Amino acid sequence: MRFLLLLFVAAIVWLSQGAVAQAHPVLLRSTPSDGQTVRTPPRQIDLWFSEPPTAAGLDIALSDRDGKAFPVTARIADQGIHVVLTGFPELPRSVYELRWSVVSKYDLHRLQGTLVFGVGLAATSSGRPAESVTGPAGTVADVVLGWFDLAATAVVSGWVLLVALWSRRRGFALPAESVVTMRGLAAAFAMLSVFASLARGARQWSEAAGADSGLAVVKDSGQLLRWSLREVVLVVICALLVRQSRRGASGSAATLPLICLLFGDLVLRAATSHARGGPLSLAVLAIHQVAALAWVGGLVVLGFLTARLRGERRLTLDLWRSFGPVAACSVAVLTITGLLLTGRQVASVDAALSTSYGRALLIKLTLAGVLMALGLRHALRLHPWLRRRVGPAVLPSSRAQAISPLLGVTVALMAVVLAVTPPARGPQFDKPEATASRADYQVDDLLITVSLGPNQPGRSLLLVDVVSSRRPSPGPITAVTADLGSTSGIVLRRTTSAAQTGGQGGGQWQAAVDVEATGPVPLRIVAARNHPGPAVVTTTWVVPTGLPRRPVVVSNSPLAPWTTGLAVAVALLASAVAYALLRRYRRTRRSVVTVEPVQRVPSGAG
């Protein structure tokens, strides 16, 4: 039996590896990029998305600044995230707008956006980043149904986890009436999860089917298989809980199938959420969800039991104390995996502050922080040895016992809001390349200063200052030529006389040049002299797009390296704290001479 359950979980993981995705197909980059000016017409246009879109849901339109449309053929390559656009004729000199609309292969949400690029003309405007086509009513419905699904799964997970923990404790027993009630509630919440998943899938499918290619989109997405598999898992969980509530089965033998099925459900849930990149990302997100549901679900179940056991102070105290290690481990795992996931979904601090996803994430982190602080306060009251004290444990107040589950359910709500919101990432948040309109180069005894203004596509002025560091100069500069991009043999005119150079053999040279494109442009400067020979500068000049830069509020540096490093630091710190607390607990236990026995409440159910 156990081998079959493990085989079932392994099969779910294998089926889900190809379905790891973000919740929305954000355009990560493109060639040409948004706002770029190219010298020669592109033969193809490349779009890279954060997750694979469906081939049937692709909708691409290309037009110039006069509104003239050009035919485009789209195909998907590179593991599904790379869309290649071909089939258009040679694009004449103009500014072009590419409008794209794609459907997520995993949640059937449609996103759209535009990008602007120029061919021989400067693109003086930018396109629109990805935005959801789902209306406000559909978004609210997704959030509400997703919240019901997640909260119900959390309650079921919390009950199964606590039953598994209590079944291993000798002499521990809950009143039979409370056990029966909780089993019925767990079965009811499992039914709610089935209903919410069914309703949410039906709503998303109806939205996809409303388009011309709706049926083809649903078939191409593979969503039917994943959704059907998850529904089967939820129905089996519901059936087992109903059976246990009727027959009174309990213990590790009864909870093991539920644990395996819940893990399979979480893997399937993770396969259609915010991680991408292969099995490792799937494992990180699945572990994150396991820890979250164990923590939140455990708090909700404890809140229910505490309300029913108001007259059983010692038993209630034992319940809360037994949940402490689980909550502590869940918080540590949530912090570590949350940092890793945040670095993948939020480009920078500014992106977190300026987007709906970032603001929702900050609200979620604030609520989770309050819940963690409240949990720490509970731990210090329930476990006096944490403060190096030997004394009676104190139950959390009734208000704190009610606030903790409510905060946990609210955190789950914000998690669902994040799931239906486009992540704070994309080319609009990329840190701009460092560009300069002036650069210095040292060649032998010559200091060559090059400047280009206004350093944008179109007509610009190229200035070259040449100064020799030797006295006297080995020889005067007789001519300066330049190669910029595809234009070679540019002859610069001297603007200072030999007398004005002070005998340094250099001077200032200039020429009007045509800058053909943005981005890296090859540049070659040749300063000719008879002795000791010409000085040559070969470099790459960067021409910015000319679009207004996004203002830096706090920082536009990539967030991922910082969150990854902080996750490693938190993992090491959590390990050290766990080791220190374990040693303190053992010393405290040895120092206690007598311990008042705890009176257990007998029950025939675990």
Rounded to the nearest 5°, which phi and psi values hold at 10? Answer: -60, -40
Residues 264-281 pLDDT 10s: 888 887 766 544 456 777
Residues 540-564 pLDDT 10s: 988 876 555 667 788 888 888 999 9
Residues 9-25 pLDDT 10s: 444 444 444 333 334 56
Dist. CA 227–CA 233, nearest whole Å: 10
Torsion angle of the four alpha carbons 343, 347, 348, 349, in this order, in degrees rounded to the nearest 10:
-80
Strands 131-132 and 69-70 turn out to be unpaired
The encoded tokens of residue 265 equal: 């459900």
pLDDT of residue 85: 92
Looking at residues 300-324, what average pLDDT do you find? 83
For the cut 90, the answer to whether the pLDDT of residue 565 exceeds it is yes
Question: Is 57 within 8 Å of 213 (Cβ atoms)?
Answer: yes
pLDDT of residue 497: 63
Handedness of CA 158, 161, 164, 167 (dihedral sign): negative
Looking at residues 110-139, what average pLDDT do you find? 73
The encoded tokens of residue 22 equal: 């973000």
Dist. CA 418–CA 308, nearest whole Å: 34
C-alpha separations of 257 from 34, 156, 238, 264, 531 in Å: 52, 13, 12, 11, 87
Helix, strand, coil % (nearest 5) of the chain? 50, 20, 30
Cβ neighbours around 376 below 10 Å, total: 14
pTM of the full predicted structure?
0.70
Residues 407-425 pLDDT 10s: 999 998 888 888 777 778 7
Lowest mean pLDDT among 128-142, 485-499, 541-555: 128-142
- β-partners of residue 465 are 449, 508
Question: What 3 state SS string does 190-258 have?
Answer: HHHHHHHHHHHHHHHHHHHHCCCCHHHHHHHHCHHHHHHHHHHHHHHHHHHHHHHHHHCCCCHHHHHHH
Dist. CA 161–CA 84, nearest whole Å: 48
pLDDT over 70 percentage in the chain: 79
Residue 309 DSSP code: -
What does the mean pLDDT of the chain come to?
79
Question: Is 371 within 8 Å of 408 (Cβ atoms)?
Answer: yes
Between 222 and 544, the more confident residue is 544
For the cut 70, the answer to whether the pLDDT of residue 501 exceeds it is no
Dist. CA 109–CA 204, nearest whole Å: 7
**For residue 499, what are the contacts with CB-CB under 8 A and spacing of at least 6?**
none
Dist. CA 221–CA 189, nearest whole Å: 29
Looking at residues 156-176, what average pLDDT do you find? 80
Looking at residues 193-200, what average pLDDT do you find? 88
Between 399 and 497, the more confident residue is 399
One-letter identity of residue 210: G
For the cut 80, the answer to whether the pLDDT of residue 333 exceeds it is yes
Dist. CA 234–CA 346, nearest whole Å: 32
HSE-up (13 A, CA, CB side) for residue 228: 6
pLDDT of residue 571: 93
The helix or strand, by DSSP H or E, that contains position 262, with its residue range, turns out to be helix 252-270
pLDDT band at 317 (very low <50, low <70, confident <90, very high): confident
pLDDT band at 263 (very low <50, low <70, confident <90, very high): confident
Between 331 and 142, the more confident residue is 331
Query: To which residue do tokens 């099969």 refer?
Result: 11
Residues 444-455 pLDDT 10s: 888 999 999 888
The encoded tokens of residue 425 equal: 């990432």
The full length of the chain comes to 606
DSSP string, 483-507: EETTEEEEEPEE-S-TGGGTTSS-E
Dist. CA 393–CA 382, nearest whole Å: 5
pLDDT band at 132 (very low <50, low <70, confident <90, very high): low
- β-partners of residue 480 are 527
pLDDT of residue 72: 93
- β-partners of residue 513 are 460
C-alpha separations of 542 from 75, 120, 251, 485, 558 in Å: 32, 17, 68, 11, 21
**For residue 15, what are the contacts with CB-CB under 8 A and spacing of at least 6?**
225, 226, 229
pLDDT of residue 546: 54
Query: To which residue do tokens 């330049």 refer?
Result: 482
pLDDT of residue 500: 57
Dist. CA 281–CA 265, nearest whole Å: 17
Between 206 and 4, the more confident residue is 206
pLDDT of residue 433: 63
Dist. CA 61–CA 97, nearest whole Å: 8
For the cut 70, the answer to whether the pLDDT of residue 66 exceeds it is yes
Looking at residues 198-222, what average pLDDT do you find? 68
The helix or strand, by DSSP H or E, that contains position 292, with its residue range, turns out to be helix 279-308
Residues 351-404 pLDDT 10s: 888 888 889 999 999 999 999 998 888 888 887 777 766 667 777 787 888 888
pLDDT of residue 573: 92
Question: Is 152 within 8 Å of 301 (Cβ atoms)?
Answer: no
The encoded tokens of residue 110 equal: 């449609």
Looking at residues 584-603, what average pLDDT do you find? 54
Question: Is 123 within 8 Å of 37 (Cβ atoms)?
Answer: yes
DSSP string, 113-132: EEEEEEEBS---S-----EE
Residues 31-63 pLDDT 10s: 888 888 888 888 889 888 877 788 878 889 999
